[in-house]
């Protein structure tokens, strides 16, 4: 049963390799093979979950027991994100029918396989390989729209991503040179002796900045607005909603398992605060829907970084709630932006033309700001209570920035809402008002339904998240799951 789990990485890769060939012989098979693989992936995970998944699993690849071989570590947190990857891959599937569709769908399958690997892998270098694969697939998909602006944005992203990769690799090499192992569980055992020093901190910083490129961490997020504004909306939604969270998940795991040092948390806290300030202020100034969403995404991820910096894993629940909340909301908002791209002024009076789209926008905005019955309120509430319980001034600064950011957020989101419901300017004809329509509106409605469902079922969802957080925090459980026989030092 659990060995089937490796299929959710292997089958998308297989599909990606074969799609260009299949496309030549039979269009129909090729068109449906991608979605079929993703549906099967969802089914495997759902099946595992429903058949009484309680204890985390470790799946050794190649039959070599870790730490010699590579293993997948499957706890409920990893499984949740793996499921989200397969599901969102399906939701954001590039259903286009042009000459490039085989290539685009291949890249999407590669991106899904890499993202699943990022969620599951229990080996530091293997994570890096999947991270690279996700990056390269993203370059192709981001430049696929073919406009000059998209090429420029992708080139910038490529350079920044390359620097990030080198830094990450440097950090991994430092860790390996100190410990002689790459397995996360093995490293978790060795870390207290060998990595809780300045060298370990350097390695952590290098990896943090490197992986932070994808997690939209403060100094290395300059690619975000350009890419989200020029790439296809579906890709932007996948990147902002999911891939950033997976990068975050890696940093979170490393922080919990290996770099359990106060200095590491402090760096994350400072970068998170700076990210919130810069992101929200830039979003406030943005005059274009997609750019505004991109900057707001930077701000939201900054908030998650603040939550991550809370000592002793107190922020775990907040990280989880904020991440999932942002995943749903930002995906939905990006789907609305598919038809509402361009200058915000153009949208004046759109609510009349597309009432459902406008209602959804208000719903997402309210949840993002944190209106009480909606899930966003509970996610933010958890973080505020944890932050307020801290005594260190830096955390209180984080709290102040967080509250201020919420006000700024409300200001720019409701400005857009007011534009939507305002009366159209006299000189524009009604045909010029952009409408939300078709598939993107349907997808956005799905996410809207998700938000309302979570709002109604907030108690069971909260309990579930609490259990997932508790399991993810248990370092001893991680170590004993991966290598039951190992006790202490080597082997």
Partner 1 sequence: MGSLTGLLFAGGLGFMLLAVASGLDFGAPPMLIGTEIQAHAPQQTGAANIVTSVVLGYRAIDTLGELSILFASAVSAGLVLGRRHTTAGTQTKGGFILQSGGSLLFPLMMTIGFYIIFHGHLTPGGGFQGGVILAAAFFLPLLARPGARLHHKSLSLIEGFAGASFILIGLFAMLEGKAFLQPMLIQDTLGQLVSAGTLPLLYLAVGLKVGAELASLLSRLIQTEAPQ
Q: Which positions from 39 through 68 interact with partner 1, judged by CB under 8 A? A: 59-64, 67-68
Torsion angle in degrees (nearest 10) through CA of 406, 407, 408, 411: 120
Q: Using CB under 8 A, which of 30, 110, 294, 337 touches partner 1?
A: 110
Beta strand ranges found along 350-489 (DSSP E): none
Question: Would you count residue 274 as binding partner 1 (CB under 8 A)?
Answer: no
Q: Decide: is 481 part of the binding site for partner 1 (CB under 8 A).
A: no
Q: Does position 113 bind partner 1 by CB under 8 A?
A: yes
Q: What are the beta bridge partners of residue 60?
A: 71
232 makes contact with partner 1 (CB under 8 A): no
Judged by CB under 8 A, which stretch of 3-11, 41-49, 353-361, 406-414 contacts partner 1?
A: 3-11
Nearer to partner 1, 5 or 358 (CB): 5
Residue with tokens 């892998």: 121
Site map (CB under 8 A) of partner 1, residues 357-386, x = contact: ------------------------------
- Does residue 17 bind partner 1 (CB under 8 A)? yes
Residue 204 in contact with residue 254, Cβ under 8 Å? yes
Is residue 304 near partner 1 by the rule CB under 8 A?
A: no
460's CB contacts (< 8 A; 6+ apart) are none
Decide: 357 and 436 in contact? Cβ < 8 Å. yes
CA distances 82 to 5, 44, 259, Å, are 10, 11, 24
Q: Which range, of 174-182, 251-259, 288-296, 382-390, touches partner 1 by CB under 8 A?
A: 174-182
Query: Burial level of 98, CB count in 10 A (0-12/13-18/19+)?
Result: exposed
CB 72 within 8 A of CB 6: yes
Among 90, 199, 371, 477, binds partner 1 (CB under 8 A): 199
Q: Residue 214 gets which letter from DSSP?
A: T
Q: Is 246 in the site for partner 1 (CB under 8 A)?
A: no
Q: Identify the residue whose tokens are 């040179």.
A: 177
Q: Alpha-carbon distance 471 to 481, whole Å?
A: 12
Show contacts with partner 1 in window 115-154 (CB under 8 A). 117, 125-126, 129-130, 132-133, 136-137, 139-140, 143-144, 146, 151
Question: Helix or strand or coil: residue 183?
Answer: strand
How far apart CA 418 and CA 364 sit, in angstroms, is 14
| Alpha-carbon dihedral angle through residues 220, 225, 226, 228, given to the nearest 10 degrees | 110
Minimum distance from CB of 355 to partner 1 (Å)?
38
Which among 1-9, 26-34, 297-305, 359-367 is the span making contact with partner 1, rule CB under 8 A?
1-9
Nearest distance in Å: CB 86, partner 1: 17
Cβ neighbours around 262 below 10 Å, total: 9
Can residue 487 be called a binding residue for partner 1 (CB under 8 A)?
no
Q: Which CB sits closer to partner 1, 7 or 458?
A: 7
Kindly tell me which residue out of 16, 38, 195, 321 binds partner 1, with binding defined by CB under 8 A. 16
Cβ atoms within 10 Å, residue 451: 22
Closest to partner 1 by CB, 10 vs 400, is: 10
Phi, psi of 59 (to 5 degrees): -105, 115
Per CB under 8 A, the segment of 108-116, 239-247, 355-363, 435-443 that binds partner 1 is 108-116
* Phi, psi dihedral angles at 437 (to 5 degrees): -155, 165
Please say whether the beta carbons of 253 and 308 come within 8 A: no
Among 26, 55, 147, 177, binds partner 1 (CB under 8 A): 177
From the CB of 5, what's the least distance to partner 1, in Å? 9
Q: Which is nearer to partner 1, 111 or 433 (CB)?
A: 111
Binding footprint of partner 1 on the chain (CB under 8 A): 3, 6-7, 9-10, 13-14, 16-18, 20-21, 24, 59-64, 67-70, 99-100, 103-104, 106-107, 110, 113-114, 117, 125-126, 129-130, 132-133, 136-137, 139-140, 143-144, 146, 151, 174, 177-182, 186, 198-199, 202, 490-491
């Amino acid at each position: 049963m659990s060995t089937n789990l490796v299929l959710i990485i292997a089958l998308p890769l297989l599909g990606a390799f074969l799609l260009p060939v299949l496309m030549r012989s039979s269009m129909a098979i090729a068109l449906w093979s991608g979605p079929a693989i993703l549906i099967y992936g969802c089914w495997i995970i759902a099946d595992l979950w429903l058949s009484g998944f309680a204890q985390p699993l470790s799946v050794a690849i190649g039959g070599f027991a870790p730490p010699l071989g590579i293993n997948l570590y499957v706890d409920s947190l990893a499984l949740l994100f793996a499921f989200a990857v397969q599901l969102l891959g399906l939701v954001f599937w590039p259903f286009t029918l042009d000459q490039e569709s085989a290539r685009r769908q291949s890249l999407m399958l590669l991106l899904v396989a890499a993202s699943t690997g990022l969620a599951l892998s229990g080996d530091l270098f293997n994570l890096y390989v999947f991270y690279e694969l996700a990056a390269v697939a993203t370059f192709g998909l981001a430049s696929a729209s073919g406009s000059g602006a998209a090429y420029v944005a992708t080139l910038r992203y490529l350079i920044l991503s390359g620097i990030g990769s080198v830094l990450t690799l440097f950090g991994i090499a430092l860790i390996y040179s100190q410990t002689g192992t790459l397995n996360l569980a093995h490293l978790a055992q060795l870390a207290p002796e060998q990595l809780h020093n300045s060298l370990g901190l350097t390695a952590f910083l290098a990896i943090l900045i490197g992986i932070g490129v994808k997690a939209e961490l403060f100094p290395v997020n300059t690619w975000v607005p350009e890419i989200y504004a020029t790439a296809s909306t579906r890709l932007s939604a996948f990147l902002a909603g999911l891939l950033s969270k997976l990068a975050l998940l890696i940093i979170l795991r490393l922080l919990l398992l290996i770099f359990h040092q106060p200095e590491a948390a402090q760096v994350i806290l400072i970068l998170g605060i700076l990210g919130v300030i810069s992101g929200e202020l830039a979003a406030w100034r943005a005059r274009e829907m997609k750019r505004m969403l991109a900057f707001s995404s930077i701000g939201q991820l900054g908030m998650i970084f603040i939550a991550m910096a809370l000592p002793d894993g107190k922020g775990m629940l907040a990280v989880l709630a904020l991440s999932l909340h942002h995943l749903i909301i930002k995906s939905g908002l990006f789907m609305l932006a598919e038809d509402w791209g361009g200058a915000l002024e153009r949208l004046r009076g759109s609510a009349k033309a597309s009432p459902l789209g406008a209602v959804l926008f208000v719903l997402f905005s309210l949840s993002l700001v944190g209106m009480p019955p909606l899930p966003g309120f509970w996610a933010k509430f958890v973080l505020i209570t944890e932050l307020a319980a801290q005594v260190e001034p830096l955390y209180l600064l984080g709290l102040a920035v967080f509250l201020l950011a919420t006000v700024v957020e409300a200001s720019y989101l409701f400005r857009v809402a007011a534009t939507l419901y305002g009366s159209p300017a006299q000189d524009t004809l009604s045909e010029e008002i952009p409408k939300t329509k078709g598939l993107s509106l349907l997808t956005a409605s799905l996410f809207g339904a998700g938000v309302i469902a979570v709002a109604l079922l907030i108690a069971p969802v909260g309990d579930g998240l609490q259990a997932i957080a508790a399991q993810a925090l248990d370092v001893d459980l991680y170590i004993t799951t991966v290598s039951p026989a190992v006790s202490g030092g080597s082997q």
